[in-house]
């Protein structure tokens, strides 16, 4: 299984490396204000907040958090995206594989995982969620947006993905020590069959995480 995970990570990252410039241009104008607002409205305390943009890509959302006055740190597994994000946002950006994280404990008020955690194979989701939980401050907030599906996984267009429904994702996040705050489907204002994205917001529970 370890070899499979290495192949999954290497293949998915290679896909993004080959298409980094096109990806940046294709997503530059995507409006994820709804998702940023969903994270920030649940963070407790006095801003500015320290936010980890998990899977920051070329840095669009790092710049958005910074423009709101927060301290944003990016993380991505693709070296090209790390370089782009640093140049785009001026923020600190960490080059880390999602399946080999090295995160500081209790550092972040919020973690913004927008269109990123679906690249984590189902078998590794409990561990990765546990690592993200540990990186949050007590009562910190995790935002996730994933393409929804029937709890299946596999290769699609050169990338590995796992597609969760609400019940499946809820079970994983709850087991990892999170309490659900809200969920919704995107894009807004469309019939459900035209809303392929599931967004969920979670608070780090008291110290009962299992991973």
b/e 133-171 (16+ beta carbons within 10 angstroms → b): bbbbbeebbbbbbbebbeeebeeeeebbbbbbeeebbbe
Q: Is residue 211 part of a domain?
A: no
Number of domains in the chain: 1
Q: Is residue 210 part of a domain?
A: no
Check residue 3 and give its pLDDT: 62
The residues, ordered by sequence, that sit 6+ positions from 184 with a Cβ below 8 Å of its Cβ are 34, 38, 199
Residues of the chain with pLDDT under 50: 209-211
Check residue 210 and give its pLDDT: 44
Q: Is residue 109 part of a domain?
A: yes
> Which CATH number is 96's domain given?
3.40.50.150
CA distances from 2 to 5, 76, 188 (A): 5, 21, 39
* Helix H or strand E segment including 135: helix 125-135
Contact 183, 201 (CB under 8 A): yes
Q: Is residue 209 part of a domain?
A: no
Pairing outcome for strands 108-114 and 136-147: parallel
Check residue 1 and give its pLDDT: 52
Q: Is residue 199 part of a domain?
A: yes
In this prediction the pTM is 0.94
The residue range of the domain holding 186 is 2-204
Check residue 80 and give its pLDDT: 96
pLDDT digits (tens, 9 = 90+) for 142-198: 999 999 999 999 999 999 999 999 999 999 999 999 999 999 999 999 999 999 999
Residue listed under structure tokens 């990123």 = 116
Check residue 209 and give its pLDDT: 43
For 118, other C-beta atoms within 10 Å of its C-beta total 24
Closest C-alpha to 153, from 8, 29, 45, 26:
8
């Amino acid at each position: 299984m370890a070899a499979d995970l290495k192949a999954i990570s290497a293949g998915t990252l290679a896909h993004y490396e080959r298409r980094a410039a096109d990806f940046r241009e294709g997503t530059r104008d995507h409006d994820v204000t709804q998702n940023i607002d969903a994270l920030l409205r649940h963070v407790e305390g006095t801003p500015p907040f320290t936010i980890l943009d998990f899977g920051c890509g070329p840095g669009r959302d790092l710049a958005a958090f910074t423009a709101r006055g927060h301290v944003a740190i990016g993380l991505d597994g693709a070296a090209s995206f790390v370089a782009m994000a640093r140049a785009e946002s001026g923020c600190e950006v960490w080059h880390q594989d999602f399946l080999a994280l090295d995160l500081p404990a209790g550092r972040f008020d919020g973690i913004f995982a927008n269109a990123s955690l679906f690249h984590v194979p189902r078998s590794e989701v409990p561990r990765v969620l546990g690592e993200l939980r540990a990186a949050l401050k007590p009562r910190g907030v995790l935002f996730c947006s994933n393409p929804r599906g029937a709890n299946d996984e596999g290769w699609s267009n050169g990338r590995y993905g796992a597609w969760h429904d609400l019940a499946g994702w809820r079970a994983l996040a709850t087991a990892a020590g999170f309490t659900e705050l809200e969920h919704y489907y995107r894009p807004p204002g469309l019939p459900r069959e035209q809303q392929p994205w599931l967004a969920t917001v979670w608070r780090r529970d008291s110290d009962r995480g299992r991973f």
